[in-house]
Amino acid sequence: MSSVASPASAAAPSSPEPLIVARGLTKSFDGFEAVKGIDLEVRPGEFFGFLGPNGAGKSSTMRMIACVSPVSSGTLRLFGLDPARDGARIRARIGVVPQLDTLDTELSVQENLWIYGRFFDLPRSECRRRATELLEFAQLSDRADSVVEHLSGGMKRRLSIARSLINDPELLLLDEPTTGLDPQARHVLWERLYRLKQQGVTQVLTTHYMDEAEQLCDRLVVMDQGRIVAEGSPRELIDRYSTREVLELRFAAGTNDQHGALLAGIGDKQEVLPDRVLVYADDGEAALSEAHHRGARPESALVRRSSLEDVFLQLTGRSLVD
């Protein structure tokens, strides 16, 4: 990836020209409004995240940004261009890792890269040169001639990412890139994405893994039911919507409600779940001794740092969304 020239300016996203600008962006399918008017800006070099439960409108937004889904209303500009008029010119400058792999199963690993490069009108020799580089980047050099069908899930994902980089994109769109991967494969992917960030590639990610968003994103928005409900860096969001620490208590089955009442007033807030009682407090240990003091005898107690997951559940609710 030596060809990605501009060095990282990720720490200071102060460029005056945002790479993506959306104003009042909506998307509807046959009367159903999947995206209900969102505003956002992504600056060059930034690692930007969309967080949200299934059906929040993340993928619809990503498809509009990728210029494969016409905007229903509002405005969207990428590199200052309008997707409706300059879709092809924009797509020439971006890379897309779709939610489900769209690798060409009839081609070998390296043929997938060549042919994809040809779709960008890259000269053949250039396709070959980049394919070799990218296979190394994706740790797939020894599988160059394998048929895609025989690759593992993690390898396919890495190939998808390698393929999305064939045109040296200025902007990389990653739609749930690590869903379904084992922990080792996820960490390998994160490390590769981090390297791209250091090389100055702007990245936009959707995910519902909180650890992933915390690890990777400079800034993120939480989407719920087609709207943006919060925006900020992971740290800012935790500070704004949660406490510093969370105390998790487990009690004998069926006694959570009565214990919830007993703990009322400890910390900033208490939450009774079917299997646990959570106490949000800046000092978890202090909250725990207060609980003991009031006579609570939990089967287990755990004090942990507040995470993006707490923010997420706070904002989007705990009921299951399909």
Partner 1 sequence: MSTVLRIVPETFVVRRPHRMIERHVVAYRRQWMIVFSGFFEPLFYLLSMRAGVGDLVGDVRVGGRSVPYDAFVAPALMASSAMNGAIFDSTGNVLHRLKYARIYDAALATPMGPADVAVGEIGWALIRGQVYAIGFLAVMAGLGLTESWWSLMALPVCALIGLTFASIGFLGTTYMRGWSDMDIVNTAMMPLFLFSATFFPISSYGDWGWVVQLSPLYHGVALVRAANAGVWTGSLVVHALVLVVISVVALVLASRRVDRLLRR
The set of residues, in sequence order, having a beta carbon less than 8 Å from that of 43 and lying 6+ positions away, is 13, 14, 15, 18, 19, 202
CB 216 within 8 A of CB 47: yes
Nearer to partner 1, 171 or 247 (CB): 171
Taking the least distance from each CB to partner 1, the nearer of 107 and 262 is 107
For partner 1, which is the closer residue by CB, 7 or 29?
A: 29
Nearest distance from C-beta of residue 275 to partner 1, angstroms: 39
Binding site for partner 1 (CB under 8 A): 29, 63, 66, 68-72, 84-85, 87-89, 91-92, 96, 98, 100, 102-107, 111, 114-116, 118-121, 163-164, 167
User: In the complex with partner 1, which residue's Cβ is closer, 79 or 120?
Assistant: 120
Q: How far is the CB of 312 from partner 1 (least distance, A)?
A: 27
Least separation in angstroms between CB 65 and partner 1:
11
The nearer residue to partner 1, 158 or 163, going by C-beta atoms, is 163
**Looking at beta carbons only, is 150 or 304 nearer to partner 1?**
150
Instruction: Give min distance, CB of 28 to partner 1, in A.
Output: 11
Two tokens, residue 32: 């159903």
Paired sense of beta strands 73-78 and 219-224, if any: unpaired
Residue 83 three-state SS? helix
Is residue 271 within 8 Å of residue 280, measured between CB atoms? yes
- The strand pair at 94-97 and 171-175 is best described as parallel
Shortest separation between residue 117's beta carbon and partner 1, angstroms = 9
Secondary structure string (H, E, C) spanning 131-165: HHHHHHHCCCHHHCCCEHHHCCHHHHHHHHHHHHC
**Smallest gap, in angstroms, from Cβ of residue 155 to partner 1?**
17
Measured CA to CA, the distance from residue 165 to residue 224 in angstroms comes to 30
